[in-house]
Structure 1
Amino acid sequence: MTIEARIRELGNRHRQLDETIQREFGRPAVDELQVRELKRRKLRLKEEITSLEARAG
């Protein structure tokens, strides 16, 4: 898999996590622990994307 393809894949996963977080906030009882974990995963993806973009030049 090329770096560009990996960046796209990670970007898609990042957007999916963002959508999941937004849905969670739309619920009557927000699960704060779940939201915290989703945000942590989203941040890890963003860091990996940034790293790959730097390598890709």
Structure 2
Amino acid sequence: MNSSPTMKREEVLRIRLELLEREHRDLDESIAALDAEGRADPLTVRRLKKRKLLLKDEIRRISDEITPDIIA
């Protein structure tokens, strides 16, 4: 009965990573759809791209925390 209801840090990070990756994909699809229409507001597209870059940085940070580089 040592099973505790709290999740381990790595499990929380993996869930967070999955959510960020999903949001990143959704933004990518939104940007592509706006570009395809040809009448997208440049400011909106710029904001979406900036958010996408921030997500990419956070995804990379979490990925590195989950699987750190080990120099042999």
**TM-score (norm. length: structure 1):** 0.92
Structure with bigger RCO (C-alpha 8 Å, 6+ apart): 1
Structure 1, unaligned runs of 5 or more? none
Structure 2, unaligned runs of 5 or more? 1-10, 68-72
Runs of 4+ aligned structure 1 residues displaced above 6 Å come to none
- Name the structure with the higher helix share: 1
1:1-57 aligned within 5 A: 2-57=12-67
Cα distance in 1 between the residues matched to 2:55 and 2:39: 26
Higher alpha-carbon Rg = 2
**TM-score (norm. length: structure 2):** 0.74
